[in-house]
């Protein structure tokens, strides 16, 4: 047995039998960890943490099993996301689930861990939820290692924008995402991505302020980026339909 101690985020728990559970955790060094928790629902000695809680864990690993043996755990950071409103809670859980689905797909665990650390410091109370979820999805895409070129059409090579001095001029075209990045409507069936959508990526890549971007554009990019990651890694994101339902109800920027 090899012994370890490090912080880890609880990604999610799967019920097992009547009182047990499988806990899925993310640690910067250990990566995606799975532990069987006996009596997880017990109020006296249970594992009563919520997804997204940051824990300090001690555990043992063995070459004969993929499961770790959790020897101790204590909370480091816990946050009641339900108090932040439905939008913020749903947005955080969408991002957390996406990280959890990708954690076992070969992505660098330290980068995923750092993303959750950073996302935990964002101002979910005041910032538009879609803006923050977009920022998380954009970082995930950058850390994923999959090809994603948006500066030019992947078929004809025409740039999606050009610089006049320091000012970008965006091509008036309709794009869709395909393997490798964008394809313009002159080469494939036109999609929903237009010049305004390309500008959002340019602002994000350039480190520009995103406050003036309409939330509807963030929501559309969230859908596009998650769909792209799902196709690349063959994962399901169960909370996405709830996010789409929220999107259909309106694009207000404040939580209700």
Q: How confident is the model at residue 245 (pLDDT cuts 50, 70, 90)?
A: confident
Q: Is the pLDDT of residue 57 over 90?
A: yes
Q: How confident is the model at residue 41 (pLDDT cuts 50, 70, 90)?
A: low
Give the C-alpha separation, 155 to 214, whole Å.
29
Q: What is the mean pLDDT of the chain?
A: 89
User: What per-residue confidence (pLDDT) applies to 254?
Assistant: 41
If one counts the domains in the chain, the total is: 2
Give the C-alpha separation, 256 to 253, whole Å.
10
Mean pLDDT computed over 165-186: 93
User: What per-residue confidence (pLDDT) applies to 34?
Assistant: 94
Residue 82: count of CB within 10 angstroms of its CB: 10
Beta-strand ranges (E) seen in the chain are 2-16, 20-27, 31-37, 54-61, 69-77, 148-149, 161-164, 167-170, 175-178, 180-184
- Please indicate, yes or no, whether residues 6 and 64 belong to a single structural domain of this protein: yes
Q: Is the pLDDT of residue 39 over 90?
A: no
- Please indicate, yes or no, whether residues 48 and 113 belong to a single structural domain of this protein: no
The pair of structure tokens assigned to 226 is: 């998650």
- Please indicate, yes or no, whether residues 11 and 33 belong to a single structural domain of this protein: yes
Q: Which of 48, 77, 106 is the last residue of a domain?
A: 77
Residues 6 or more apart in contact with residue 138 via CB below 8 angstroms: 201, 204, 221, 225
Give the C-alpha separation, 203 to 177, whole Å.
19
**SS3 (DSSP) at 17:** coil
Range of the domain at 139: 82-148+191-249
The closest alpha carbon to 112, from 50, 223, 27, belongs to 27
Provide the CATH number for the domain around residue 72: 2.40.50.140
- Please indicate, yes or no, whether residues 25 and 132 belong to a single structural domain of this protein: no
User: What per-residue confidence (pLDDT) applies to 147?
Assistant: 87
The pair of structure tokens assigned to 7 is: 């912080």
Centroid of chain to Cα 68? 25
* pLDDT single digits (tens) 100-139: 999 988 899 999 999 999 999 999 989 999 999 999 999 9
Helix residue spans in 57-214 (DSSP H): 86-103, 109-119, 129-144, 195-205
- Please indicate, yes or no, whether residues 134 and 86 belong to a single structural domain of this protein: yes
Q: Is residue 42 part of a domain?
A: yes
Q: What pTM does this model have?
A: 0.89
Give the C-alpha separation, 227 to 235, whole Å.
10
User: What per-residue confidence (pLDDT) applies to 247?
Assistant: 63
Q: Is the pLDDT of residue 156 over 90?
A: yes
Mean pLDDT computed over 6-28: 90
- Please indicate, yes or no, whether residues 18 and 134 belong to a single structural domain of this protein: no
Measured CA to CA in angstroms, residue 252 lies from 170, 193, 197, 255 at distances of: 27, 21, 18, 8
CB of 73 within 8 A of CB of 63? no
Q: Is residue 115 part of a domain?
A: yes
- Please indicate, yes or no, whether residues 87 and 62 belong to a single structural domain of this protein: no
Q: Is residue 170 part of a domain?
A: no
Q: Is residue 155 part of a domain?
A: no
Between 103-107, 191-195, 206-210, the lowest mean confidence (pLDDT) is in 103-107
First CA to last CA across the chain, in angstroms?
49
The pair of structure tokens assigned to 202 is: 């340019």
- Please indicate, yes or no, whether residues 14 and 45 belong to a single structural domain of this protein: yes
Mean pLDDT computed over 183-209: 94
* pLDDT single digits (tens) 71-82: 999 999 998 887
């Amino acid at each position: 047995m090899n012994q370890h101690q490090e912080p880890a985020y609880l990604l999610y728990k799967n019920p097992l039998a009547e009182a047990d559970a499988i806990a899925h955790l993310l640690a910067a060094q250990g990566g995606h960890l799975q532990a069987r928790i006996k009596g997880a629902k017990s109020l006296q000695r249970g594992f009563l943490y919520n997804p997204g809680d940051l824990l300090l864990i001690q555990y043992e690993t063995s070459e004969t099993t993929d499961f770790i043996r959790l020897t101790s755990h204590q909370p480091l950071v816990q946050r009641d996301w339900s108090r932040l409103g439905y939008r913020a809670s749903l947005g955080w859980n969408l991002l957390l689930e996406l990280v959890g689905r990708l954690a076992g797909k070969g992505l660098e665990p330290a980068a995923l861990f750092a993303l959750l650390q950073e996302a935990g410091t964002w101002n979910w109370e005041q910032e538009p939820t879609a803006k923050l979820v977009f920022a998380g999805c954009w970082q995930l895409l950058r850390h994923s290692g999959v090809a994603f070129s948006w500066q030019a059409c992947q078929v004809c090579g025409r740039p999606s924008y050009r610089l006049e001095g320091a000012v970008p001029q965006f091509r008036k075209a309709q794009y869709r995402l395909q393997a490798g990045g964008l394809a313009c409507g002159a080469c494939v069936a036109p999609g929903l991505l237009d010049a305004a959508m390309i500008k959002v990526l340019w602002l994000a890549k350039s480190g520009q302020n995103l406050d003036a971007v309409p939330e509807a554009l963030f929501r559309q990019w969230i859908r596009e980026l998650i769909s792209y990651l799902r196709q690349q890694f063959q994962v399901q994101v169960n909370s996405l339909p709830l996010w789409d339902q929220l999107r259909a109800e309106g694009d207000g920027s404040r939580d209700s």
